[in-house]
Every structure is written in C-alpha cells, then in structure tokens.
Amino acid sequence: MSKLNILLLGSGGRESALAWKIAQSPRTARLFIAPGNGGTEAYGTNVSLSPLDFTAIKQFVADNAIDMIVVGNEDPLVAGIYDFFAGDSVLVVGPSKDGAALEGSKDFAKRFMMRHSIPTARYESFTSANIADGCRFLESLRPPYVLKADGLAAGKGVLIIDNLDEAKKALAEMLGGMFGASSATVVIEEFLSGIECSVFVLTDGEGGYRILPVAKDYKRIGEGDTGLNTGGMGAVSPVPFADKTFMDKVEQRIILPTVRGLKEEGIVYRGFIFLGLINVGGDPMVIEYNVRMGDPETEVVMPRIASDIVDLLEGAAKGSLGDIPADHDPRTAVTVMAVSGGYPGSYAKGLEITGDLKPAQSILFHAGTRREPDGRLLTSGGRVIAATSYGDNIADALSKSYQAVDGIHFDGKYFRRDIGRDLMK
Ligand code: AMP
Ligand code: GLY
C-alpha cells in the first residue's frame, strides 16, 4: 500500500471535514492544510500559503514531496490550478480551467446543459448590448424573476424578484456593474418551484464516477428559511425525498449526460461535481453546477462515506476510479452551524471561543476559527463551527448537534434551531 503526502487547500468547515476524513486513511502519510484554521491542526499541519498563489504552492509541493493536491474551494480551480500543474508529477483533484467554467460561468453551464439535454430552467443570457431583449424576455416570463450574474459572486449573484419593473431595474443595475465584471453577462431564467438538494459526484474524467451521499443545506439566516442568504447554516444527509426512484432519474438524466458530455467535449475533469438540484414534482432539474464540494454539505457527506477517501481521490485524479468503492454509511448525519452575531452582514472577529470543544457525541468541524500562540481559540469568520452528529434519524442526530452547539460559547453566537425540520414532516 503506497502512502501519499497530501496538500489540502482551503480554510473552512468543508476543509475541516475533508481533512478529518483524509487523516483517517491508512494511505495518508502527511497531510498539510493551506491555510487551514484553528481546528484543522488536529488532522495535519497548517501552512500559511494562499490557495491562489500557485507559484508558492509549487515550491511547497517540491520541498515537501507532495503527491496529491486536493482543492476545497472554487477559486483556485476557476483560476486554473489543474492546468498549472499539468505535466507535473503531483496529482490534482479537480477540473481543468475549462471544466471549472461549469461554476465560473452560468452562461457556459446553461449552454452545456442545452447541448446535452440536461433538464434545467428555460433561460436566455444578456449583456448591455441587448438589454432591451432582456426586458422583453422578462415580460414573457411569469414572476418571480430569476436573474443570475454569469460569473463568480461569492454566492450573492442570484436575485429573485417578484415585480416586473423591479426585475428590469435589477437587470440594468447588474449589467451596469452591481457584481463587477461578474454581472457583465446576466442569465435570466424561469423560476422553478420545489425542494432543493445537493448531489455530489466524484468523476475520473474517463467515464468513471461515484455518487456520494446526498445532502440538503439550509441557506437562509432565519428560521423557516427567511432572511438573507448565507454560505449555509446547516445540512442533513441522507435526504428522504432523494429515494431510489428520484436518484435513478438524477443518474440517467443528469449525471451520465454530464460525465459523458465533458468527455465528448474534451474537457478534462477529475474531481468533484456538485449538482444543485430542485425536485419539481418528482423530476430533478439542475439549478446550478459547482465544481467542488458544498459547505456545509461536506460536513455531513464525509462522515457518511464509509470507504477510503484517499483511494477515491487518487482514483479520480489518475483517471482510474475503476471499482474503488464509495460505500455510504447508513446512519443519518446532520450538522448545525454556529455563526457570528450579525452574519451574513458585518460581525465582530477575534472573540474567544470557550466551552466543550470535544463533545463526546459530536464532531466539531471548525470553519472561522484561529488558534492564538497562547492556545486560545478565537472567531475569525462568519461561520464559526459546525457541529456534526450521527443518529438513527434526523431528530436523533439533531438533538446531539444542538447539545454540542449549546456547549460552545462566544459572544453573539447564533444558529438555526429548525435544521432538517422540513424533512421530518
Ligand atoms: P445559486 O447561487 O445558483 O445557488 O442560486 C441561489 C439560490 O437561488 C438557489 O439555491 C435557489 O434557491 C435559488 N434559485 C436559483 N435559480 C432558481 C430557479 N430557476 N428557480 C427557483 N429558484 C432558483
Ligand atoms: N452550501 C452551498 C455551497 O457550498 O455552495
């Protein structure tokens, strides 16, 4: 059995969960997390490198005999980290820059879905050159109106607007630079009504793929799915409505055409595909592609992968998933995110975190935390710590996670008490 030195890029709760899982593998020699956070040091060595500084990463890879780079967030992928290391002996888990455009450009993703008959909302794309056509397209749709900045906008680039005149105004503002260059092109699409879920696929780019546990996240700050969008306030896996019938449709109508389509078009893609799906009357439709794992979905998906993650990551990166298993743990996993008061607006940082940081019944995945030289743990972001628990069902797992979140303290701590409630009816 060969052992690998692994470099994981990122610093959030997702990377904590990936690091936790990678560290458990007997195939991991050394694990480095760049830059990591106050919790990832429990699984490996934090190194202060920016995930976007490819030259510095290359030097670190050479100095530390790194065998494989695992990329947590989308930015390095969209910036072309896969291509930067092409021809180098280090393996990179992820799509090429062309593949990362599935997340980096909504217009590209929509065209890709059209070419491969993948079910998604009807749409058209507009720039300032054809804004009048955009207004006419809005008039042809029923409210609410969905307007999306084409490029990356830190999860904020989607506007859903009830009123036609306001939608036209928003279109003009978006094209005028509301999200900078990201909204120089705007995708307008039909509103789909249904319940969402996140499906994760690991593909080797050669037609091989594994479907990972399905999760549902809770994006809004307020209970009952109200208030502003956040990075995600909690997640649940498995998702009761994503049963065999639904997942067979997902595989046949979405996963197979996506994996085959990438290969047919010569787009190199050896990494995670995140399908943001909506269940419209029993039929899955694609809301968005992401080219990475979800956060906080990873905090429930990794705990539900019963197989060796390093075997899977290496298989994907080498283009040879073959028959490497991706077994699912039958238990339910939930995660509840403790966030800073004020998030997703402005919030304080540097607040001391105290309490039970090693609860017996839960795993605390650190997100926005940092460790001081004197050993104190401080908040350093909006999403601070995700408490993940296993259970026989959602309610059982949730009671443990709430106990864990109640046991940690920092000024202004906030979390949602209704994670998973919609799935328990
Ligand atoms: P995105 O940034 O693409 O994940 O979009 C943010 C959220 O907007 C999604 O999670 C959905 O809740 C919602 N959304 C996006 N597109 C649509 C659509 N066509 N119909 C209904 N809701 C949508
Ligand atoms: N939880 C949604 C995302 O990671 O984009």
Q: Could you tell me the fold of the domain covering 122-189?
A: Dna Ligase; domain 1 (3.30.1490)
Return the residue whose CA atom lies nearest to atom 3 of ligand 2: 294
CA 62 / ligand 2 centre spacing (Å): 32
Q: Please, which residues bridge with residue 409 across strands?
A: 354
Q: Which residues contact 69 (CB under 8 A, 6 or more apart)?
A: 6, 7, 8, 9, 57, 61, 81, 85, 90, 91, 92, 93
The stretch 276-298 carries a mean pLDDT of: 97
The 10 Å Cβ neighbour count of residue 78 is 21
Nearest atom in ligand 2 to 294's CA: 4
Per-residue model confidence (pLDDT) at position 69: 98
288 in ligand 1 pocket by Cβ < 6 Å? yes
* pTM for the whole structure: 0.96
The DSSP call for residue 142 is P
Does the beta carbon of 10 sit less than 6 angstroms from any atom of ligand 2? no
In this predicted model, what pLDDT tens digit does every residue of 96-139 receive, in sequence order? 999 999 999 999 999 999 999 999 999 999 999 999 999 999 99
Specify the residue with its C-alpha closest to ligand 2, atom 5: 294
Atom of ligand 1 nearest to the CA of 155: 2
Per-residue pLDDT band for 154 (boundaries 50, 70, 90) equals confident
Is residue 70 within 8 A of residue 7, CB to CB? The reply is yes
Nearest CA to ligand 2 atom 4: 294
Average pLDDT of the chain to the nearest whole number: 96
Identify the CATH number of the domain defined by range 4-96.
3.40.50.20
Could you tell me the distance, in angstroms and rounded to a whole number, from the CA of residue 157 to the centre of ligand 1? 10
What six digits make up the tokens of 320?
A: 């040879």
Atom of ligand 2 nearest to the CA of 219: 1
Residue nearest to atom 14 of ligand 1 (CA): 287
Q: Whose CA is nearest to atom 2 of ligand 2?
A: 294
Kindly indicate the confidence band of residue 153, based on its pLDDT and cuts at 50, 70 and 90: confident
Q: How far, in Å, from the CA of 220 to the mean position of ligand 1?
A: 12
At residue 359, the pLDDT reads 98
pLDDT in tens, 306-350: 999 999 999 999 999 999 999 999 999 999 999 999 999 999 999
191 lines ligand 1 (CB under 6 A): yes
Average pLDDT, integer, range 198-209 = 97
217 Cβ below 6 A of ligand 2:
yes
Q: How many CB atoms neighbour CB 320 within 10 A?
A: 14
Whether the per-residue pLDDT at 20 is higher than 90: the answer is yes
Name the residue ranges covered by the structural domains of the chain. Answer: 4-96, 122-189
Task: Locate 260 and state its tokens.
Answer: 């085959």
Atom of ligand 1 nearest to the CA of 191: 20
Distance 12 CA to ligand 2 centre (A): 12
Given a contact cutoff of 8 angstroms between Cβ atoms, the answer to whether 349 and 234 are in contact is no
Is there a common fold for 4-96 and 122-189? no
Query: For 175-193, what is the mean pLDDT?
Result: 93
Report whether residue 232 contacts ligand 2, using a CB cutoff of 6 Å: yes
243 residue type, one letter: D
